[in-house]
Amino acid sequence: MKILIAASEMVPFAKTGGLADVVGSLPKALHRLGHDVRVVIPNYKQISHARYLTDLPVPMDGHLETAIIRETSVPVGDSEVPVYLVDNYKYFYRDHMYGHSDEGNRFNFFCKGVLAMLPYLHFQPDVIQCNDWHTALLPLFLKVRFMEEPFYRPIASVFTVHNLQYQGRYSPSILSQLGLEDKYFTPEELEFYGEVNFMKAGLLYGDVINTVSPQYAMEIQTKELGEGLDGLLRKRSLDLYGIINGIDYDEFNPATDKRIYENYDRDTLERKKHNKYGLQKELNLQVGDMPLFGLISRLVGQKGLDLVAEIIEEVIHTGAQFVLLGTGEDYYQNLFADLKVRHPEQVSINLGFDAALAQKIYAGADMFLMPSRFEPCGLGQLISLAYGTIPIVRSTGGLSDTIIDYDSQTDQGNGFAFTNYSPLALLNTINRAIHLFKKDQEAWGRLMRQGMAMDFSWNQSAVKYVNLFEKAIYKRKQHSRAI
């Protein structure tokens, strides 16, 4: 199968969150299954060493602009996955990947560049997988602008929702830049509370749609977590699937990870504590065997940081330590500043994006906090499991699909989970974990090993994606015949 994956970020080139991990690792798994898979992302400022391929004209609001196409690759064993980069200095040569006033137009340009690039490459994918709102225009462009062109007509599209909250909403004036007539500005099309909603384009025009866990696929069809799009998602429920993300165990493996203080595996778990001591030293915390809680996250409302802020002092008073790594909204950045001042030897607040420190925390912490308000899949809990660090999660979305609450009667489970979105529920769950940690190190060791033994690699999920792509291709063929 010929597959193109289009996305706004990809490890190792550009990352702000889990999307980049997925786009970095899913293509490798698809490649290993024998498919011709390629990826395309924007050429951000921090990306270097890509080979220049060509300049192509792209229509933008009545005039032509230039998409510079570059090429690089990521290795997979002895082989590689090609990665194309769509470039234009005006849109992508900036210090930050996101958060610009012309965001809609940047990704409008990107999507047009992606489609313009394909004939030049003589690459006609059977399917394009589009990820989140940044690439949601692709299914629409394929169907409404390129339908008559024999090259594009057979190409199927899959739209994957990694997070329904970010929808790409812009004023109606963007329609002309997209090259769309006013008839697309209705509630049945892209209109959404007076704005143009890019995500709707993917949800409406993707041949099939999916999200990153079965539980989240159900939740987004409810008013509570549907972000205003639950009605549309219910309408498309027969075409809506949930596939849990995997992680790349080549990258997230405590036995080989070069970024951590000391390597270990299930049989040498006693070495894990040297990662804790190393982390404590590096972060100027008191060195010792007290329980250490890690939290690595984008600092945004979704992640349940308000719950943590309410109860963490009480946890600290039991003698535990808390290490946070994150970047995001000012409000959440400031939430823990006082805590550090009051407990300098027990608290470390690291505001920034630091992939190496993240690994040291996954390896050095005893427990990992993820009390999310909602969580499409979540990777932090899966990485924690791989490092023998026990996840404490709120059962929602992918967290509820992957973390089974520990049952002391049966010794079953791989973490600690609670349901009610309340500080007390989180505190009780943390206390249960601390109790086991302090009172029964043997059971704790079994819990760690149980988590480390779990396989959340891409092997199974990549096969599910292939099935999904086949469904989309089948639907596309039927549709083409019907016209």
Q: Which residues bind ligand ADP (CB under 6 A)?
A: 17-19, 21, 296-298, 325-327, 353-355, 358, 377-380
Q: Name the packing angle between helices 423-439 and 441-453 (round to 10°).
A: 110
Residue nearest to ligand ADP (CB): 18
> Which bin fits 5, alpha (ψ -120 to 50), beta or left (φ > 0)?
beta
- Look at the chain and count its residues: 483
If we measure between CA atoms, which residue out of 119, 145, 125 comes closest to residue 205? Answer: 145
Distance CA 131, CA 138 (A): 10
Report in angstroms how near the CB of residue 326 gets to ligand ADP at its nearest.
5
Distance CA 461, CA 246 (A): 7
Neighbouring residues of 118: CB distance < 8 A, sequence distance ≥ 6: 4, 124, 125, 151, 152
Our CB check for ligand ADP shows the closer of 326 and 415 to be 326
Read off the amino acid at residue 457: S
Q: Is 158 helix (H, G, I), strand (E, B) or coil?
A: strand
If we measure between CA atoms, which residue out of 351, 349, 304 comes closest to residue 326? Answer: 351
- Exposure on the CB side of residue 15, measured as CA atoms within 13 A: 19
Our CB check for ligand ADP shows the closer of 88 and 245 to be 245
- Exposure on the CB side of residue 476, measured as CA atoms within 13 A: 25
Report in angstroms how near the CB of residue 380 gets to ligand ADP at its nearest.
4
Our CB check for ligand ADP shows the closer of 296 and 472 to be 296
Our CB check for ligand ADP shows the closer of 117 and 357 to be 357
Q: Structure tokens of 8?
A: 């706004």
Report in angstroms how near the CB of residue 353 gets to ligand ADP at its nearest.
4
Report in angstroms how near the CB of residue 401 gets to ligand ADP at its nearest.
13
Strands 63-76 and 51-60: antiparallel
Report in angstroms how near the CB of residue 41 gets to ligand ADP at its nearest.
16
Report in angstroms how near the CB of residue 283 gets to ligand ADP at its nearest.
14
Our CB check for ligand ADP shows the closer of 324 and 472 to be 324
Our CB check for ligand ADP shows the closer of 109 and 465 to be 465
Strands 416-418 and 390-394: parallel
Give the H or E element holding residue 417. strand 416-418
Strands 390-394 and 367-370: parallel
CA 475 to chain centre: 27
Our CB check for ligand ADP shows the closer of 113 and 415 to be 415
Report in angstroms how near the CB of residue 214 gets to ligand ADP at its nearest.
16
Report in angstroms how near the CB of residue 161 gets to ligand ADP at its nearest.
12
Our CB check for ligand ADP shows the closer of 8 and 108 to be 8
Report in angstroms how near the CB of residue 226 gets to ligand ADP at its nearest.
18
Our CB check for ligand ADP shows the closer of 12 and 231 to be 12
Distance CA 294, CA 283 (A): 12
